[in-house]
Chain A
Amino acid sequence: MPFRASISMLALLVSPCAASAADIEFWYGNIGTAEKAIVAACGAFNAAQQAHSVTCVGQGGYEPTMQKAIAAYRSGKHPVLIQFFDAGTLDLMLSDAVVPVEQAMPEVNWKDYLAGARSFYATSKGELYSQPYNGTTLVFYGNAELLAKARIDKLPETYEELAAVARKLKDAGVECPITTDGHPWRVLEQVAARHSVPIASRHNGYDGLDAEYTFNRGLIAEHLENLLRWRQEGLVKLDQDTRTGKYTAAFNSGECALMEASSGLYVDAFKALGDKVMVAQAPMYEGHKRYNTLIGGASIWLMKGHDEDRIEAARAFLDFIRRDDQQIEFTRATGNLPVTRSALELLQSSDKTRETEFATVDAGVRSLSAESTDDSRGIRLGFYMQFREIFQEETQKAFAGDQSMSQALDLAVARGNELLRRFEKTYSNVTLP
């Protein structure tokens, strides 16, 4: 259509060119359902105004996004906005490659963010570094049909009850009562946060880079011993024990009855199991008060080294996706949680919360906005990705029977501390913001 094309060219030429107009790039990591929602949000932003345009570029996963960002930043070709996942927070705070959103956009009411969503991305003094975006947290899933076999109609609230329920399920012929992958996000970080037990000294590293891991004693150690015992008893199946080799698939296929997992998995679970999916807050140990769980998912960071026009466009985009209606739409599409109070209140005041798309909001947000302490703010520990690998390696050996769980945790702590010391040295002349 050459005629129409030339008309639109003409329109472009004569339209008043706003001084601050800019095309910017936003790199994100999600794939699947969340990616569709992100692309839709970008499209909505571009359609909603003429001043700026954003190009959203998928990088195929959180880890590749970080890798490419590092490479791009080192060669000076980085975009203005990048989505990074929770575990990369400390690296970015110390990178000198980002502008804290609170500095870049002082006019925004950042206090509106839910405590659990905010503290993970804020400094120990409370300054927010990035804008929380796709927020998830740990929730507890159950399969009503399998639970009904053991005449159970509600999800257990404590681990003690959970063990009893699992035994009943086993007796009722459910081969796999509980499933997990033993990932530290689920069995270490979230358990520690909601019991307000630190996994490392200095409030999980918030007070300085000289922190040390401490989870090889106390509640966390007991929890992992329990998991090991429950697995030996046949109550817990790991990824490796399930037919599909993946705990979420084992739950979705009806092989397993219970799992602790991200609220973001609800969409898939509902697609597979429909009304049979039950959701609640993750269980606690008896005699402990419940504190907040940590936010999962990712936040958006504003990167340094761009001119004012592009920063302006980035601000406009961040403002747009922070809007209540945008957050609610994102929640609907992905099962993620709204991350600001105003969006949450708007959602709760509507009757949407009864719709299945919003089924995790109640449990998730209650979990995320429970009372917070210095030990439930988040994780601020160096080389944390490498530590997660170490933790899994050592505990897997314990699950396989090659060493005891206490040996595994001692080794994980020792190897983790070695990483922390090296990280401290790498940033020897930098103070933690």
Chain B
Amino acid sequence: MAMKQTYYTSGWHYALLVSPIIFLIGLFFYVPVGLAFFWSFFLERPFGGGSEFIGFANYARLLGDTTFWSALHLSGIFMLLAAGFGVAIALILALAADRDLRLSGAARNIILWPKAIAGASIGVVFTFIFNPHLGLLAPLSTLFPGVWNPRMDGTQAFLMLVVAQVWHGLPFNFIILLAGLQSLPDTLIKAAAVDGAGPWRRILDIQIPLITPQLFLAFVLEFVGTLVDVFGLIDTMTQGGPGGSTTFLIYKIYKDGFVAYDLSGAATQTVLLMIFVIAMVLLQFRLEKRVRYER
């Protein structure tokens, strides 16, 4: 006997209620995206006036441009590394905090708090931590001069960003996964324990399979986050350097559009980035269909 709850008689009331947010999303998402699509077919002059329609020439140029591919390639590797580590470490922490130990309540709180820090602030702090002369690895630099210098070494700069991004994403992934773990029925785990399953067995066969929806959500959010939200970290930590080794697509778009006034190039790359993100998310949703949730 399902009870239908209605507060409003007409469907229009609901439409009215959601209209402000629809309007805002339209204004700040769909309009800019539409404009990016529009500009990507033009050679757009910064101050407007006399822009020229060139069809798909911008796309043709970018797809033949090695720097675009290198930016996309870097974004892709970063996405896999940062999202992979981000979710894996959050999972380990969540499994640990889920246990009924004396301090797990405190641990949960401590791990959640960093969520309140903005990406740019994290960038500033990590820049200090990884400073070759003052930071954590500075003793290494004194022992072997030049061995640690992310300002000069592209790979080190890249890894530094991975660490910062993983740290940045950890609390949120942790919340999602811990919530998932805590919603699992206690009886299942206790029954398994009675049947003689050790802690590893219980994690592998019961807990992880049962939180696949949460894992999936964390991955999807991390994938998008590593592609787009990493901007603040790049801008505060490396500015895309050294030698372009951390110029991910999102940062290249900013540089081309806002520093170099190359509006058409930036618009075209925005469209391509969006297509890439959508493709990644769709791919994940396809993969998700294959997963058989054990519920």
Chain A interface (Cβ within 8 Å of chain B)?
Answer: 63, 66-67, 70, 73-74, 91, 94-97, 238-241, 243, 245, 383, 385-386, 389, 392-394, 396-397, 399-400, 402, 415, 422, 425-430
- Tell whether, in the assembled complex, residue B133 and residue A73 are in contact, meaning their CB atoms are under 8 Å apart: no
- Tell whether, in the assembled complex, residue A240 and residue B149 are in contact, meaning their CB atoms are under 8 Å apart: yes
A425–B43 CA distance with the chains assembled, in angstroms: 8
- Tell whether, in the assembled complex, residue A385 and residue B48 are in contact, meaning their CB atoms are under 8 Å apart: no
Contact of A243 among B44, B49, B133 (CB under 8 A): B133
Contact of A63 among B152, B240, B258 (CB under 8 A): B258
Encode B41-82 as 1/0 by CB contact (under 8 A) with A: 001111111111010000001000001000000000000000
Q: Which residues of A contact B133 (CB under 8 A)?
A: 243
Instruction: Name 28 interchain pairs, CB-CB below 8 A, sorted by A.
Output: A73-B47, A73-B48, A74-B47, A74-B48, A91-B47, A91-B261, A95-B45, A95-B47, A238-B152, A239-B151, A240-B242, A241-B152, A243-B133, A245-B131, A383-B260, A385-B259, A385-B261, A386-B262, A389-B260, A393-B240, A393-B247, A397-B242, A397-B243, A400-B153, A402-B243, A422-B61, A427-B45, A430-B50
- Tell whether, in the assembled complex, residue A422 and residue B43 are in contact, meaning their CB atoms are under 8 Å apart: yes
- Tell whether, in the assembled complex, residue B154 and residue A66 are in contact, meaning their CB atoms are under 8 Å apart: no
- Tell whether, in the assembled complex, residue A240 and residue B152 are in contact, meaning their CB atoms are under 8 Å apart: yes
Q: Which residues of B contact A67 (CB under 8 A)?
A: 258
A66-B261, A240-B151, A415-B67 known; A400+B46 contact, CB < 8 A: no
- Tell whether, in the assembled complex, residue B47 and residue A397 are in contact, meaning their CB atoms are under 8 Å apart: no
Contact of A425 among B52, B259, B265 (CB under 8 A): B52
Contact of B244 among A70, A73, A393, A430 (CB under 8 A): A393
Interchain nearest-CB distance for B138 vs A (Å): 10
B255 at interface, CB cutoff 8 A: yes
A400-B242, A428-B52 known; A386+B47 contact, CB < 8 A: no
Q: Which residues of B contact A245 (CB under 8 A)?
A: 131, 151
Enumerate B258-289 residues with CB–CB distance to A below 8 Å: 258-262, 264-265
- Tell whether, in the assembled complex, residue B45 and residue A400 are in contact, meaning their CB atoms are under 8 Å apart: no
Interchain nearest-CB distance for B184 vs A (Å): 48
Enumerate B132-187 residues with CB–CB distance to A below 8 Å: 133-134, 149, 151-154
- Tell whether, in the assembled complex, residue A70 and residue B243 are in contact, meaning their CB atoms are under 8 Å apart: no
7 further interface pairs, Cβ-Cβ under 8 Å (given A74-B47, A96-B47): A95-B46, A96-B50, A238-B152, A383-B261, A393-B247, A396-B244, A422-B61
Interchain nearest-CB distance for A15 vs B (Å): 39
Contact of A70 among B46, B153, B154, B264 (CB under 8 A): B46
What is the count of residue pairs linking A and B with beta-carbon distances less than 8 angstroms? Answer: 89
Q: Is the interface of B mostly helix, strand, loop or mixed?
A: loop
Residue of B with least CB distance to A384: B260
- Tell whether, in the assembled complex, residue B45 and residue A393 are in contact, meaning their CB atoms are under 8 Å apart: no
A240-B149, A393-B241, A400-B242 known; A91+B50 contact, CB < 8 A: no
Q: Which residues of B contact A428 (CB under 8 A)?
A: 52
Q: Which residues of A contact B256 (CB under 8 A)?
A: 386
A386–B259 CA distance with the chains assembled, in angstroms: 7
Interchain nearest-CB distance for A32 vs B (Å): 19
- Tell whether, in the assembled complex, residue B154 and residue A402 are in contact, meaning their CB atoms are under 8 Å apart: yes
Interchain nearest-CB distance for B148 vs A (Å): 12
Q: Which residues of B contact A383 (CB under 8 A)?
A: 260-262
Q: Which residues of A contact B43 (CB under 8 A)?
A: 422, 425-426
Q: Which residues of B contact A402 (CB under 8 A)?
A: 154, 243
Q: Which residues of A contact B265 (CB under 8 A)?
A: 422
Interchain nearest-CB distance for B252 vs A (Å): 10
